[in-house]
Amino acid sequence: MLRRATALLTRPVISLRARPFSTDVSETPVADTSFYDAWKKVIPIIEPPHTPLTFMKPRPPTPSSIPTKLTVNFVLPYNSELAAKEVDMVIIPASTGHMGVLPGHVATIAELKPGVLSVHEGTDVTKYFISSGFAFIHANSYADIIAVEAVPLDRVDASLVQKGLAEFTQKLSSASTDLEKAEAQIGVDVHSALNAALTG
């Protein structure tokens, strides 16, 4: 066993070609000519379908130096809250804890939990309460934040939050099935996070 481990550790390392980041999309979309040629042979009278690359705007390449601003896209299923907004920093409520994202942050994917998303622009701070979602931080100082639901924190009514927390706590204590318990627990978690955001 020890001989085998030593042999594995002393094996020469093969240098692999570095994979490009997914954010390093070429400036000019490359058409898949073999697909188009095959399509025209089979169905010459119908135009070939467009691929997702046709609709994607290429991301700027990863800069050689750290930029001064972070470009943020913050979207909901029905609305775009921020589109290519240049900010100083965002603080996101990741499932592993609050995470500050500055320009030059390492590429990361984070699951979001109910909590406060803070967008910092100089001395201005805009806060949103988000229910859940994902954050995609790219190596080129772009961040895409996708939330299921979000509301500016200053539009949340504290009395309704307290009322909802009491209702879901009551539902949790009287729940008889696993489904009822799960739904009530989600309500308690969201309202507790809302209450903490308003009081803290």
Fill in the amino acid letter for 103: P
Kindly state whether residues 130 and 82 are assigned to the same domain. yes
Residue 91 lies in a domain: yes
Q: Are 90 and 101 in contact (CB under 8 A)?
A: yes
Quote the pLDDT of residue 52.
59
Residue 151 lies in a domain: yes
Residue 25 lies in a domain: no
Provide the CATH number for the domain around residue 89. Answer: 2.60.15.10
Residue 179 lies in a domain: yes
- The CA distance from 72 to 88, in Å, is 10
Residue 100 lies in a domain: yes
Quote the pLDDT of residue 111.
94
Quote the pLDDT of residue 16.
47
Kindly state whether residues 150 and 183 are assigned to the same domain. no
Cβ-in-10-Å burial (0-12, 13-18, 19+) of 49 comes to exposed
- The CA distance from 22 to 137, in Å, is 11
Kindly state whether residues 141 and 174 are assigned to the same domain. no
Quote the pLDDT of residue 102.
92
Quote the pLDDT of residue 110.
94
Where does residue 194 fall: left (phi above 0), alpha (psi -120 to 50 degrees), or beta otherwise? alpha
- The CA distance from 128 to 149, in Å, is 10
Quote the pLDDT of residue 191.
86
Kindly state whether residues 148 and 86 are assigned to the same domain. yes
How confident is the chain (200 residues) per 10-residue block, as mean pLDDT? 55 49 51 79 84 63 78 88 90 92 90 92 91 89 90 86 89 88 88 82
Q: Are 113 and 193 in contact (CB under 8 A)?
A: yes
- Total number of domains in the chain: 2
**DSSP annotation string for 125-184:** EEEEEE-SEEEEE-TTSEEEEEESSEEEGGG--HHHHHHHHHHHHHHHHH--SHHHHHHH
Kindly state whether residues 102 and 166 are assigned to the same domain. no
Q: Supply the range of the domain harboring residue 129.
A: 67-155
Kindly state whether residues 79 and 140 are assigned to the same domain. yes
Kindly state whether residues 107 and 180 are assigned to the same domain. no
Quote the pLDDT of residue 7.
57
End-to-end, the C-alpha distance of the chain in Å comes to: 56
Kindly state whether residues 99 and 163 are assigned to the same domain. no
Residue closest to 193 by CA, chosen among 132, 114, 97:
114
Quote the pLDDT of residue 186.
87
* Whole-structure pTM value: 0.64
